[in-house]
Amino acid sequence: MSTRPRLVTASAAPSQRCGACHSHTMCLAASASGANPGTADAPPTLTLNKGQRVFGSGTPFDCLYLLCEGECKTERGIGDGQTQVTGFYQPGEILGLDALAGDSYCSDAIALSECTLCRLPYGALLAAMGRLPALRAQFQQLMGSEIARLQANLLLLGHARAPRRLAALLLDLASRRAAPGRMCKRFRLSMSREDIAAYLGLSGESVSRLLSALRADGVLRVRNREIELLDVARLRRLAAPEALA
């Protein structure tokens, strides 16, 4: 239960997956100019088991994390044990951006499955950005999309009823699991109903009920955490009935 995260400093070539990674350039830039020039081609990687923390709120901020494999959530506690899940993350996405404001992380990042992540030392990243204009622009864009993503969630929590919130999340998950533009119709949720509820600002029971209702309407199949989307068009209509010209 208390297997601690291991820090793997591979001496060999980076893994095959690294080559295919969307943020490979960022990863390399951070490691190449970073604290440990000896392992320039293989940035430090860490592996976590389900439930382990990548970083915790209050911990001093020193690096961002690129998620290579697995899925994570980030959440912020609100004192009485409740938490607001602020994001679900999939391979290729970056965790820890909310820490740039201060000197410590302000949310908890937790593995929802077995995960591998690359550490991106922030100092090295900043330095690399000085030399590489493209990296600079890429990073700004990354932060911009995090901001846009959070704004979209704000919209959802502020002005959408429960069914629309869930529909939007399902579509988001389905589209992020596949190549851009396409849609993954069959997938496995890595998070619990409670996690979904905490993300959408609902109760776990409500999420359960909504999923049952969607199943009853023939919009999807649910079996535990296995999801299959049967009627994507209807789901889209649910997620944005009047908007989206």
Task: Tell me which residues touch a copy of itself (CB under 8 A).
Answer: 76-80, 82, 84, 86, 97-102, 106-107, 126-127, 129-130, 133, 136-137, 140-141, 143-148, 150-151, 153-155, 157-160, 198-201, 240-244
Binding segment toward DNA, per CB under 7 A, in 24-32, 98-106, 196-204, 231-239: 196-204
Alpha-helix runs per DSSP H in the chain: 16-20, 24-32, 122-131, 133-159, 162-176, 193-200, 204-216, 232-239
> Pick from a copy of itself, DNA, none: which does 204 bind, CB < 5 to 8 A by kind?
DNA
- Asked if residue 162 binds DNA (CB under 7 A), the reply is yes
What's at 95, amino acid-wise?
Answer: L
Other Cβ atoms less than 10 A from the Cβ of 19: the count is 9
- Asked if residue 204 binds DNA (CB under 7 A), the reply is yes
Record the tokens describing residue 57, joined without a space. Answer: 């709120």
- Asked if residue 193 binds DNA (CB under 7 A), the reply is yes
Q: Which is nearer to a copy of itself, 112 or 129 (CB)?
A: 129
Q: How far is the CB of 241 from DNA (least distance, A)?
A: 12
- Asked if residue 209 binds DNA (CB under 7 A), the reply is yes
